[in-house]
Amino acid sequence: MTVVEIARQAGVSIGTVDRVLHNRGRVSPQTRARILEIIQETGYQPNALARQLKRKQSYRIGLLIPELEKESRYWQLVDNGLARAVSELSAFSFSVERFTFVRPDRVSLSDAFARMVAADCTAWVIAPIMQEETLVLLSEVEDPVPYTFIDSPLPGASPLTTVAQEPFQGGYLAGRMMDLVASGDGTFAVILPYTEAFNLNERARGFSSWFGNRPDSRVIKLVCPEPRMAEATATLERAMEEYPDMRGMFAVSAIGHKIASIVSGHGWRDRVALVGYDLVAENERCLREGTIDCILSQRPEDQGRIALFQIYRHLVYGETSAREVRMPFDVYFKENLP
């Protein structure tokens, strides 16, 4: 039995259990009684070393992440999840220091990484969305602190754990959803805003795999750079002219609402279905309005929260972290939006 399990069984935060264990802070009599009852029933004994660490050490977590206001504020949702975990672990002196970079600028990523290494953090949370560059940077650190990946796996690295979906399956599921909303066989476009991200490329590969054995369908890959939407518009215009049988488009990231704006603005919506990723505010609006047919989402807030809890268990209690925490696939249509 661990503090985490006691908290889960009692339906309270870990910080509340800690306050009861050390008889400090404000806890309602009913909650205190419920926690003490669980402790008595399970024979829980606090770990003396963990208590010593908690009292004498603070934990600064470095967060290597793109700018929060970019990419439809997807990364703000991840950051919100980390902030929530810090609040829940307030008894253990965790803090998060952000080191943001401009995607896909290699110099910006390298600079942010160097600042994080120099900050003397206890552990890192990294969004490894620039695949090759992140691997190189990690390989150049002689003795890296424990680190956790969020949003994407990164083959070739050795994180404490990875908190993310299985991206190939995400793309494959998007293909299945496209079959539900598109009108028959034809050409389907998978749209990538960036080309260097392992998870985005795997989603594209999974989507193509769904249609792989369909002789009357083809999948084309279109790169529509998110920072340059005029270029994205021109790319879609050329594709629609070259492939008059275009039936659907799959946006592999939160860029879906921008693609929806182009599709609707050109009058293609009546013949082109659109499946997107991530339930950011703009995508939710398009789903409600009917300019996007389906959204797959990956619970970014939960990713941030889980990542910090994995680090907490490792640092404070010496527990072995799961190598992977697979996030579920949430599928949203207009009819089942929260």
Angle between helices 29-42 and 3-10 (to 10 degrees): 130
Give the Cα separation of 194 and 313 in Å (integer).
Answer: 34
Report the DSSP beta bridge partners of residue 219: 188
- Mode of pairing for the β-strands spanning 324-326 and 330-332: unpaired
For the chain, list the domains and their CATH numbers. 3-46 (1.10.260.40), 57-163+300-328 (3.40.50.2300), 167-297 (3.40.50.2300)
Q: Are strands 218-223 and 273-277 parallel, antiparallel or unpaired?
A: unpaired
First to last CA, the chain: 35
C-alpha separations of 335 from 253, 268, 281 in Å: 21, 23, 16
Write out the two tokens for 256. 């879906």
What are the pLDDT digits (tens) for 54-81? 555 789 999 999 999 999 999 999 999 9
CA distances from 157 to 6, 7, 144, 203, 261 (A): 33, 32, 12, 20, 38
pLDDT tens readout for residues 101-127:
999 999 999 999 999 999 999 999 999
Q: What is the pLDDT along the chain (338 residues), one digit of tens a residue?
A: 678 888 889 999 888 888 888 776 788 889 988 988 888 788 776 664 455 445 557 899 999 999 999 999 999 999 999 999 999 998 888 999 999 999 999 999 999 999 999 999 999 999 999 999 999 999 999 889 999 999 999 999 999 999 999 999 999 999 999 999 998 899 999 999 999 999 999 999 999 999 998 889 999 999 999 889 999 999 999 999 999 999 999 999 999 999 999 999 999 999 999 999 999 999 999 999 999 999 999 999 999 999 999 999 898 888 877 899 999 999 999 999 98
What is the C-alpha to C-alpha distance for residues 314 and 296, in angstroms, rounded to an integer?
31
In 266-327, which ranges are continuous DSSP H helix?
A: 281-289, 300-317
